[in-house]
Amino acid sequence: MDTTKKKRRIALGCEGSANKLGIGIIAHDPVTNEPTVLSNVRHTFVSPPGTGFLPKDTAQHHRAFFVRVAKQALANAGVRPSELDCICYTRGPGMGAPLTSVAVAARTLALLWGKELVGVNHCVGHIEMGRAITGAANPVVLYVSGGNTQVIAYAEQRYRIFGEALDIAVGNCLDRFARTLEISNDPAPGYNIEQLAKKGGRVLLDLPYAVKGMDCSFSGILTRADELAAVMKAGGRGPDGETFTQADLCFSLQETVFAMLVEITERAMAHVGSNQVLIVGGVGCNERLQEMMGAMAAERGGSVYATDERFCIDNGIMIAHAGLLAYETGFKTLLEESTCTQRFRTDEVFVKWRK
């Protein structure tokens, strides 16, 4: 009788570590702990073709849209501020100025409504949301986005990093190549590369392949891809003596970098003896990556778990979910400690909510 009367717990999450401003509201069932997504609103700062998003402009975008997005999230969820248990925000890692803007806004909400604050690690947010949506119990996690490339497995209350990019993130490599080709950043540069790559495939252009154990490197590949793009513009010829197109370049780049990601993931899976793999982060939306990962997992007698753009791409709901998990174990961030940081490693977080 008592348990049925217990209120569901509700959290609002604010995310703004890169060019997406996301606010989401999640509810956890008091009995089963099942999460329910009440709302998930996102507004993306899109820079013109050939350019990237700069911290200053991105922060300005987040400040300008925060109130609108927050009101929309509350309206979509049909929740009044008084019903919330806590306000969760991204503490890091990310770009300094956008993080600060959203952290200040989250503090304001907490003070305004008299709620507790919970600072969340962005990477842990991705992992927890991916687990909740897909139902993967204890997978090896490949976290791939514009800022991060990590192969992660859970052990003894921490998400441990088995392998990572030694220089730029894979998403950064793709984003910057989209800039070289001056293709649109709307809805996302990586999405447009994916669509272009579907038209390629006649040739595979030779790009460096840089895997070192469970780590990998992407900056050399980008340099070579940029050089090939210059060759293409000058009307140069590919390995088969024919001219090649943007589509061939995008295809070759995707085939090479995704093969590297699948290889390091497989090595981590062999190392920890797991046959489940979960892909999270913006690059995780890419269907070619999901397909390749699926083929690898199938060979190992396992399966791949992936989500769609609502949860793969940065969003507020994942921050709300991970924050609420921590809040339920008694974790909270005091106002005077509610800072944010550009550097915040995934393995720094003590994962109290898992056994």
Look-up of token digits 């890169």: 18
Nearer to another protein, 35 or 55 (CB): 55
Q: How far is the CB of 25 from another protein (least distance, A)?
A: 26
Nearer to another protein, 46 or 259 (CB): 259
Q: For residues 24 and 26, give the distance between their C-alpha atoms in angstroms, rounded to a whole number.
A: 7
Tell whether residue 343 is a contact of another protein (CB under 8 A): yes
Q: How far is the CB of 210 from another protein (least distance, A)?
A: 12
Q: What is the DSSP letter of 282?
A: G
Nearer to another protein, 137 or 295 (CB): 295
Which range, of 25-33, 76-84, 177-185, 294-302, touches another protein by CB under 8 A? 294-302
Burial level of 303, CB count in 10 A (0-12/13-18/19+)? Answer: middle
Q: How far is the CB of 100 from another protein (least distance, A)?
A: 14
Nearer to another protein, 39 or 315 (CB): 315
Tell whether residue 114 is a contact of another protein (CB under 8 A): no
* SS3 call for 354: coil
Q: Which two tokens stand for residue 68?
A: 């609108």
> Which member of 107, 160, 300, 354 binds another protein (CB under 8 A)?
300
> Which member of 67, 112, 295, 335 binds another protein (CB under 8 A)?
295
> Which member of 186, 242, 299, 308 binds another protein (CB under 8 A)?
299
Which range, of 2-10, 43-51, 251-259, 316-324, touches another protein by CB under 8 A? 251-259
Site residues for another protein, 149-178, by CB under 8 A, read 164, 166, 169, 172
Site residues for another protein, 16-55, by CB under 8 A, read 17-18
Q: What b/e sequence results for 319-349 when a residue is b if at least 16 CB atoms lie within 10 Å of its CB, and e otherwise?
A: bbbbbbbbbbeebbbeeeebebeeebebbeb
Q: How many of the chain's residues bind another protein (CB under 8 A)?
A: 42
DSSP string of 53-86, one letter each residue: --HHHHHHHHHHHHHHHHHHHHHHHT--GGG-SE
Tell whether residue 146 is a contact of another protein (CB under 8 A): yes
Nearer to another protein, 116 or 266 (CB): 266
Pairing mode, strands 303-306 and 276-280: parallel
Mark the binding-site residues for a divalent metal cation, compressed into ranges. 122, 126, 143, 314
Pairing mode, strands 276-280 and 140-144: parallel
Mark the binding-site residues for substrate, compressed into ranges. 143-147, 175, 190, 194, 286
Alpha helices in the chain, H assignment, sequence order: 2-5, 55-77, 96-113, 122-134, 170-181, 189-199, 219-233, 246-272, 287-299, 309-312, 316-328
Site residues for another protein, 256-285, by CB under 8 A, read 256, 259, 262-263, 266-267, 269-273, 275
CA distance between the termini of the chain: 28
CB count within 10 Å of CB 301 equals: 7
Q: Which two tokens stand for residue 85?
A: 């248990």
Burial level of 259, CB count in 10 A (0-12/13-18/19+)? Answer: middle
Sites of contact with another protein (CB under 8 A):
17-18, 93-95, 146-148, 164, 166, 169, 172, 204, 206, 209, 212-213, 255-256, 259, 262-263, 266-267, 269-273, 275, 291-293, 295-296, 299-301, 342-345
